[in-house]
Chains A and B, each alone.
Chain A
Amino acid sequence: MTEVRLDGATVTVPVDGSPGGRARTILGPVDLVLTQSRVTVIGANGSGKSTLLRLLNGLVTPTSGTVSVDGLDTVRHGARVRRRVAFAFTDPISQLVMPTGREDVELSLRRLHRSRTQRRVAAEQVLERFGMVRHADQSVYDLSGGERQLMALAAVLATEPGLLVLDEPTTLLDRRNTLRLRALLDSLPQSVVLATHDLDLALAADRSLVVDEGRVVFDGEPAAAVEHYIGLTDAP
């Protein structure tokens, strides 16, 4: 299992846009050790969930404190952390950067397989594993929302990272595709950390965090976390 450790991780942004000016804290300080196989993060829009997730693969680095994955600091060893931690965005179309899914999967594999032939074979295997072979040569624009999300996951998981981080992966999906995605996530050998507004999905975890106004305000059993979150949102 991948171990993620946040020690006093805080993210601030300049209020007036200038680096030397006043700063506003958008997350933290956060102290966490994540070792569970399935962790969900819930919270209102703008609560800091996405920033927390982005810390995990070094996409955002802490202004103060540290974040490490399997002992690798996300600032000093950013590239190696990103080899271990895959990240899936809410909108897969912004993540699929090549014209077709096959080409996108091959792009992920470029650094693992320098040989074109090996890369093609490996990409085919990945596409088969995700049941996406028949959509592999379609334009990414021609795929449905669910197909795009699965293709984006195939592309980021092609390099076999240890941890998959997903930022609200079901927001753009209908119920059928949400269930399909859930089944896929359940079958993955990787550790998964995901932020979601889907409370059913949030319950299917070993541990849940509730984030509110940039702080982790609850950390524990998913059912209790959902109850805590509902209490927060229902409060006047």
Chain B
Amino acid sequence: MSDPGLFSAYVPGTSVVHRMPLWAKLVGVLAVGAMPWVTQSVWPLALVTALLAGIVLAARLPAHRIARSLHGLLPVLAVLLAFQWWSHDLPYAVRVVLGIVNAFVAAGVLTATTPVSDLLDGVVRAARPLRRVVDPEVVALTLGVVVRSVPWVAGSFSSVRESARARGLDRNPRAVLVPTVVHVVAFARSTGEALAARGLTDPADDALGSDRPGGADRTA
């Protein structure tokens, strides 16, 4: 799990992409994600792909991390391309696949050029109007944990696949998927326990002083 891809840690830097305000990056990611719905042609999407390549170069992100991230996505993209070609036509299938690749890379550039703590601050600000419904800190924490968990899940899948291969079971999807799901559930449980132990899931007011009935977990 030493090189988990684009969505792992922040890549420190001083590039123009790193220095862009968070809101601008978020608008960019949303715009890239919305492109497949607003265009009927492949060319604007291809242009966005080229633009993203330029952004990646400008941000000096390690090429191997992007390649590794996309490599993991390739089987899904291949199946999707084949299915969309069969059910619609080739230009449509290419549009769908390019749209996904662009959104994936744009989101990866966001996480690789923005410290998670800045992302959390941004999410807390954005979620503040909803504070009567949900604690903005919890929303931000959830996002942070998701970002941190992506490489773990990818690494777990890879280790399970290696184990299955060692037992000659690599062509059996159940031998890979079931243990991966079990690992992910165990990871989610231990992460939840770690968050609770650090008081990070306690309501902010409680952690700072006031009291409230109930502990983190009433079961052993």
Measuring CB to CB, which residues of chain A are less than 8 angstroms from any residue of chain B?
11-13, 26-27, 51, 54, 57-61, 74-80, 82-83, 86-87, 89, 91, 94-95, 97-100, 103, 106-108, 110-111, 116, 119, 137-142, 155-156
Contacts and interface: CB of A to CB of B under 8 A. Distances in A.
Given A59-B196, A97-B195, A83 B220 contact: no
B155 A83 contact: no
9 contacts: A78-B214, A79-B212, A87-B197, A89-B190, A97-B191, A107-B144, A108-B198, A116-B117, A139-B4
A59 B117 contact: no
B168 interface: no
Given A97-B194, A98-B148, A137-B10, 19 more contacts: A13-B220, A26-B220, A59-B196, A59-B215, A59-B217, A60-B220, A61-B218, A78-B215, A79-B199, A79-B203, A82-B196, A82-B198, A82-B202, A95-B194, A99-B8, A103-B115, A107-B141, A111-B207, A155-B198
B117 A107 contact: yes
Contacts of A91: 190
Contacts of A54: 220
Interface of B: 1-2, 4, 8-10, 12, 115-118, 120-121, 137, 141, 144-145, 147-148, 151-152, 155, 187, 190-191, 193-200, 202-204, 206-209, 211-220
B214 A100 contact: no
Given A99-B116, A100-B9, A137-B12, A80 B206 contact: yes
Contact of B121 (A97, A116, A142): A116
Given A59-B196, A141-B2, A77 B211 contact: yes
A192 to B, nearest CB: 16
B217 A60 contact: yes
Nearest to B209: A80
A13 to B, nearest CB: 5
A36 B8 CA distance: 42
B191 to A, nearest CB: 6
A126 to B, nearest CB: 14
Contacts of A100: 9-10, 116
Nearest to B118: A116
Contacts, number: 139
B148 A99 contact: yes
Nearest to B111: A99
Nearest to B204: A111
B197 A107 contact: no
Query: Chain A's interface: helix, strand, loop or mixed, by majority?
Result: mixed
B60 to A, nearest CB: 15
Q: By CB atoms of chain A within 10 A, which of B148, B187, B217, B218 has the most?
A: B148
A103 B219 CA distance: 30
Given A58-B215, A61-B215, A61-B217, A79 B190 contact: no
Contacts of A119: 117
A228 B170 CA distance: 49
Contacts of A86: 198
Nearest to A78: B215
Contacts of B155: 141
A110 B10 contact: no
A220 B151 CA distance: 45
A51 B213 contact: no
Nearest to B195: A97
A27 B193 CA distance: 19
A61 B219 CA distance: 7
Nearest to B119: A103
Given A89-B190, A103-B115, A141-B155, A76 B120 contact: no
Contact of A141 (B115, B151, B209, B216): B151
B65 to A, nearest CB: 10
Nearest to A50: B220
Nearest to A86: B198
B151 to A, nearest CB: 6
A111 B199 CA distance: 10
A82 B8 contact: no
Contacts of B120: 107, 110
A137 B120 CA distance: 17
B1 A141 contact: yes
A82 B217 CA distance: 13
